[in-house]
């Protein structure tokens, strides 16, 4: 008489619900990015309406600052969803496309709205001169260019990721979350909207430069090769804690410094590479 052992279910069947939950987790952070972008647009519209009506100047500043903060939170959520997807090995085509659509809203449309309302729309309120009207028209073009360049940057990134092209250590072109972070950090630091046409022109120049950097071939560090599961010295934990505390206590200068440092790292690296000595080319060996 043979002894029959109870049939065991395959291991992957028992892990089915767990794996489905893992795939949902990165998408939840993407939804957080989307919510922050939508909130930033609503806060920008509210601040612009209050500023145009000439009532509640303090409330308009709070609304515009809240929009900048929402974009900052969106940058955090966007970084977490990709990091969690890689740590849990739960990347998918759906997650990549969903993330790109959320990025267009949170880091393309939302900062473009904010840049126009804070740096261009307020000029019309202060003075209704013909020059300001021309700056307003230019502002439509520049801020829309920001959206187009951001969408093109995301499309190029998706193609390179699908084909496995490029170096994982670097991004080609300024990432759209970083460009949106510069806009949000400047608004959060300055608070008061632009009320002089010279500063308005300079602000549009900043937005135009960010648009160019997104579609440029400059390289920016991606930090994708940073393994968080490896052991780190305790000093690293202390430094991370100090950075978090500095952002919490002095968010305006600290976030502006971080955003500008990363945004300028690409051009600075390109300039310094021209002055670094390059290794000599190998000599050709001629057959005798």
115-144 pLDDT, tens digit per residue, is 999 998 877 655 557 777 888 889 999 999
pTM (two decimals): 0.82
pLDDT grade for 55, boundaries at 50, 70 and 90: low
74 pLDDT higher than 90: yes
Q: Which range, 54-68, 77-91, 151-165, 202-216, is most confident?
A: 202-216
24-273, which class in CATH? mainly alpha
Domain boundaries, the chain: 24-273
218 pLDDT higher than 80: yes
226-269 pLDDT, tens digit per residue, is 666 667 677 778 888 888 899 898 999 999 999 999 999 999 98
3-state secondary structure the chain: CCCCCCCCCCHHHHCHHHHHHHHHHHHHHHHHHHHHHHHHHHHHHHHHHHHHHCCCHHHHHHHHHHHHHHHHHHHHHHHHHHHHHHHCCCCCHHHHHHHHHHHHHHHHHHHHHHHHHHHHHHHHHHCCCHHHHHHHHHHHHHHHHHHHHHHHHHHHHHHHHHHCCCCCCEEECCCHHHHHHHHHHHHHHHCCCCCCHHHHHHHHHHHHHHHHHHHCCCEEECCCCCCCCCCCCHHHHHHHHHHHHHHHHCHHHHHHHHHHHHHHHHHHHHHHHHHCCCCCCCCCCCCC
pLDDT grade for 10, boundaries at 50, 70 and 90: very low
* Predicted pLDDT at 254: 94
């Amino acid at each position: 008489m043979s002894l029959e052992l109870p049939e065991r279910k395959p291991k992957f069947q028992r892990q089915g619900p767990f794996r489905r939950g893992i795939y949902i987790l990165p998408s939840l952070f993407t939804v957080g990015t989307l919510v922050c972008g939508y909130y930033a647009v609503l806060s920008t519209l509210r601040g612009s309406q209050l500023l145009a009506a000439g009532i509640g100047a303090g409330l308009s500043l709070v609304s515009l600052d809240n929009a900048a903060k929402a974009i900052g939170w969106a940058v955090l959520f966007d970084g977490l969803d990709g990091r969690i997807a890689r740590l849990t090995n739960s990347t998918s085509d759906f997650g990549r496309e969903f993330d790109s659509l959320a990025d267009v809203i949170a880091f393309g449309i939302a900062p473009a709205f904010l840049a126009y309302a804070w740096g261009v729309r307020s000029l019309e309120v202060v003075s209704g001169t013909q020059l300001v009207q021309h700056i307003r028209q230019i502002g439509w073009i520049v801020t829309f260019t920001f959206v187009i360049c951001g969408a093109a940057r995301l499309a190029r990134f998706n193609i390179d990721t699908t084909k496995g092209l490029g170096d994982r250590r670097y991004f080609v072109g300024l990432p759209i979350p970083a460009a949106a972070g510069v806009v949000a950090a400047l608004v959060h630091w300055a608070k008061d909207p632009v009320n002089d046409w010279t500063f308005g022109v300079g602000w549009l120049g900043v937005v135009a430069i960010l648009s160019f950097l997104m579609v440029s071939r400059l390289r920016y560090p991606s930090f994708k090769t940073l393994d968080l599961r490896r052991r780190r010295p305790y000093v690293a934990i202390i430094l991370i804690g100090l950075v978090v505390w500095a952002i919490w206590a002095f968010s305006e200068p600290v976030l502006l410094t971080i955003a500008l440092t990363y945004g300028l790292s690409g051009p600075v690296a390109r300039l310094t590479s021209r002055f670094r000595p390059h290794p000599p080319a190998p000599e050709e060996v001629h057959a005798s």
